[in-house]
Structure 1
């Protein structure tokens, strides 16, 4: 019997892993994101799908540690000085958005005919946005460190701070609440919470760094990993004992360690556990969707999801616009935060235990929150595909118009910045354009005047002085854009010598076909110098190393030429077979010395 039970548990573990491994890549391939993949997989294997799991709440309690670890990692990136700089967003934007959402969502509950206490509990739970889903989506988009991402993180942090007051308010609203003993209980709870918080701060300031220093000296990697888990789970436990949010405790522990020299090691140790447990959390949320309740109260639940998400999104948008966010940023925040969150389950369970809401209301509200969480990735995907694009801020940026110069440089990234230095040092007049506004502002800080302009447009090239330029340098990092610019310049501005940054070997062959005056593959020359230096450091003489590097360049040039002439011959054969008259081709000029009489076997078809 014990063996059978163990085998059954192993089947469930395998089912959990298999569900995530199969569903997430499929949903990401469809462009729907990993979160929706986990939710769908959880629904498929849960009590309302294949019935491999009967109690998703048990898994949810364990999986919440994924959210805890996620906030610990976020805390590691939030130095105290940076967190202090966000105080206005946390307490200003957070207070305004949360207050407005609670009021409007309570009004929705009253409009559905629920009593005020039930409406307020439903509104408070739906107001608490899903930290896990929003953080995951922000991370996938790379927005966590951007200003718009920081505003969202600030609101989420303030919502986490509100979990304890809301639970206390639920207890106060409970018919079981005894006024005579309430004062003593509340003061005791406050004292325990303050003591827990003080203990965590003290440990973070005076205990954690010496402990990790001692463990690092022991050089036991597995002990460091265990210590990282101990810090996260210990902080979460301490906050839970104090009646506070486990996630907030882990976040605070991360902040206290953000200045530590062990920060990157801690993040690397926690990351695998965080990813697995966060995925498990989303799986358990999918399992928690009670399809029987949804079927029984389909009209109420669907209407509730649409009404609550719409009203919350409109309220968040209005608050964002009131605080002078752009239309695109406000709309993005509204869609991203329009769902209920995982802490709503805790709040609804406490309200049910305190007899503030009954079992049916609890089930309906839980289903509404789960469905809203499942719809969020779809809504974000739809916004990305069909929503407005954020307008580019042109503050402090001049557009290309009436420029003149001996040379015109298109693209001022890392490549263009280096290439421009020799020209500017010689005193040659160079007009520079780029389409990246952030780069243009950064260049201005270092004394470079770069104008805004898209080099793939003929009117922009004309406004940038291409008509009179003696040389046009194409330094963009997009091979498609570079090819379009080459075509325009060759057709419209034949007087200019054309120098182009090639992306790779295939792109270089296309530039040879376009008969550019000079091209260089962006990584080839630096890699050649790198290899030459490696030879010298390995004991090879300076003259021999230089000769070997030159030989590599020569042979590569021969292979490139053979590939190019082979392509011409193949094209001529094809035209001859189709009885087409071939057009004369002029051999392009390209970097490097003249080809030797040797023939080199063509062994490269791609790469640098």
Structure 2
């Protein structure tokens, strides 16, 4: 019997892993994101699907540690100075959005006939956006560290902080709330503040010496265990104090963000974070009670639509009120219009004190889960149908019949360095770039850069390509650089074209497009670096220069052979499968032998 029980548990584990491994990459591949894949997989294997897993609540309870670890890693990236710089967004933008959404969503509940306490709890729960979903989607789209991503992070941080007073308000709204004495309330607040103070003190004075001591032992598994201890211990401390476990983990991450062990901690936690966070979304999918949804489908459908639309409108309005662009405001509204995992905590607390009955709690929970499930789909649709952002070119000069000596296309880091010696020699330069913000920034530093796309023939003509003595392609977009080279050589075949190449393959493509000269952007700097390394290692300057020049010659021959599609056979120095490194080593050995012979001859002559 025990063996059968173990086999049954193993079936559930295999089902969870199989569902996640299949669904997440599949949904991500078709552009719907891994979060929706996990939710769909959880629904498929849960008690309302194939019934491979019978207790989703137990799994969800364990998987909440994934959210805890996720926020710990986010905290590691948020140095205290960075949080201080975000304080206006956290307590300004965050507070305005949360309070506005609470008022609007409570009004929705009152409109549908809910009592004031129920309307407040229901609306407030929906205000708390899913940190896990939003952060995961920001990370997948590489928006986490952009300005618009940081605004969203600030709002989420305020929402995490808000769960503490909201839980206290739920206690006050309870029918038996009047029996709670002032002393008991003050005691609860005191315990919360004491826990926060203890965590800050431990993080400030104890954690670094603790990890330094463990690191001296050299046991990797001990460091991993210590990292888990810090995350789970801080979360447990906050939980005992009646606060959010996620907030405790986040605060621990912030306190360790400037530690010398930060990267080690992140590497140790990351595997657990990824697995448990995926398990959390699987658990949410399994928790969708289809029986409750079918029995109350009108209420659930109306609640999801009404709450998401009203919340989205308020988010958009707050963003626009604070001068955010239309596209950013709309994107934020769509991404944050769902409810979140903290709503489950708030609804459970409200149900335990008698504010919500069982049916209302089930309907509200289903509303939150469905809103979380449809968010990745709504975002994916928005990304596909939304118009591409237009570039604000107001106040920017565009090229018009310019006469110049040199035309530079792309004025980034590479183009700026190229321009300096030319300007010093008095050459007339025409510089164009299609990044409007960069053109503005360059103007602030005294550079006259014109806004324009170098792949458009009319822009090239207006920028003076016809009168240029040389055209320099300095952009970092490989495909665009080849396209520009082809257009320039077709329109102005007599003008020399010199181009920046990304790598060897790109350099060959540029030469095939007709450029007269190309250079790989890291080639010379890497050779200089290698030369400096050899000098640091004690090699003589003449030998270093000789070795580097030898490599240049060999590379030129190899490059010429690759250009015509051949395989480099090299010079007579190459034997068998010898590589350039072998040739250089042989040359170095010969040089050393020659130097040694010269030194021996000098000594012999001296004696």
Alpha carbons of 1:551 and 1:237: their partners in 2 closer, same or farther (altered >3 Å)?
Answer: same
- Larger mean Cα displacement after TM superposition, 485-494 or 522-531: 522-531
What is the CA–CA distance in structure 1 between the aligned matches of 2:531 and 2:257, rounded to whole Å? 41
- Larger mean Cα displacement after TM superposition, 440-449 or 354-363: 440-449
Residues 199-210 of structure 1 mapped to structure 2, 5 A cutoff: 199-210=198-209
Q: Residue in 1 aligned with 2:54?
A: 54
What is the CA–CA distance in structure 2 between the aligned matches of 1:444 and 1:391, rounded to whole Å? 21
Deviation string for 1:135-168 (max 9, x for gaps)? 1111112222222111111111111112122222
Q: Residue in 2 aligned with 1:583?
A: none
What is the CA–CA distance in structure 2 between the aligned matches of 1:392 and 1:307, rounded to whole Å? 34
Residues 328-367 of structure 1 mapped to structure 2, 5 A cutoff: 328-367=327-366
CA RMSD of the aligned region, Å? 2.9
Q: How far off is 1:398 after superposition?
A: 4.2
SS in 2 for 1:431: strand
Alpha carbons of 1:543 and 1:171: their partners in 2 closer, same or farther (altered >3 Å)?
Answer: closer
- Larger mean Cα displacement after TM superposition, 22-31 or 248-257: 248-257
Residues 167-566 of structure 1 mapped to structure 2, 5 A cutoff: 167-177=167-177, 179-394=178-393, 398-440=397-439, 443=442, 448-522=447-521, 541-542=543-544, 545-546=547-548, 548-563=550-565
What is the CA–CA distance in structure 1 between the aligned matches of 2:533 and 2:497, rounded to whole Å? 33
- Larger mean Cα displacement after TM superposition, 523-532 or 410-419: 523-532
Residue 88, structure 1, aligned to residue 84, structure 2: no
Q: How far off is 1:420 after superposition?
A: 3.1
- Larger mean Cα displacement after TM superposition, 412-421 or 153-162: 412-421
TM-score by length of 1: 0.87
Q: How far off is 1:546 after superposition?
A: 4.0
SS in 2 for 1:339: coil
Q: How far off is 1:20 after superposition?
A: 1.1
Structure 2, unaligned runs of 5 or more: 580-607
SS in 2 for 1:563: coil
What is the CA–CA distance in structure 2 between the aligned matches of 1:251 and 1:509, rounded to whole Å? 49
What is the CA–CA distance in structure 2 between the aligned matches of 1:56 and 1:372, rounded to whole Å? 18
Alpha carbons of 1:390 and 1:50: their partners in 2 closer, same or farther (altered >3 Å)?
Answer: same
Cα pair 1:328 1:389 within 8 Å, conserved? no
Cα pair 1:286 1:370 within 8 Å, conserved? yes
What is the CA–CA distance in structure 2 between the aligned matches of 1:596 and 1:76, rounded to whole Å? 54
Cα pair 1:134 1:336 within 8 Å, conserved? yes
What is the CA–CA distance in structure 1 between the aligned matches of 2:420 and 2:217, rounded to whole Å? 50
- Larger mean Cα displacement after TM superposition, 228-237 or 482-491: 482-491
Alpha carbons of 1:551 and 1:485: their partners in 2 closer, same or farther (altered >3 Å)?
Answer: closer
Alpha carbons of 1:247 and 1:419: their partners in 2 closer, same or farther (altered >3 Å)?
Answer: same
Residues 131-142 of structure 1 mapped to structure 2, 5 A cutoff: 131-142=131-142
Q: How far off is 1:512 after superposition?
A: 3.8
Cα pair 1:558 1:599 within 8 Å, conserved? no
Q: How far off is 1:529 after superposition?
A: 6.2
- Larger mean Cα displacement after TM superposition, 529-538 or 512-521: 529-538
Q: Residue in 2 aligned with 1:143?
A: 143
SS in 2 for 1:560: helix
TM-score by length of 2: 0.87
Give the length in aligned residue pairs: 573
What is the CA–CA distance in structure 2 between the aligned matches of 1:456 and 1:82, rounded to whole Å? 39
What is the CA–CA distance in structure 2 between the aligned matches of 1:162 and 1:543, rounded to whole Å? 64
Alpha carbons of 1:169 and 1:257: their partners in 2 closer, same or farther (altered >3 Å)?
Answer: same
Alpha carbons of 1:261 and 1:403: their partners in 2 closer, same or farther (altered >3 Å)?
Answer: farther
Deviation string for 1:544-565 (max 9, x for gaps)? 524641442242143135339x
What is the CA–CA distance in structure 1 between the aligned matches of 2:499 and 2:265, rounded to whole Å? 44
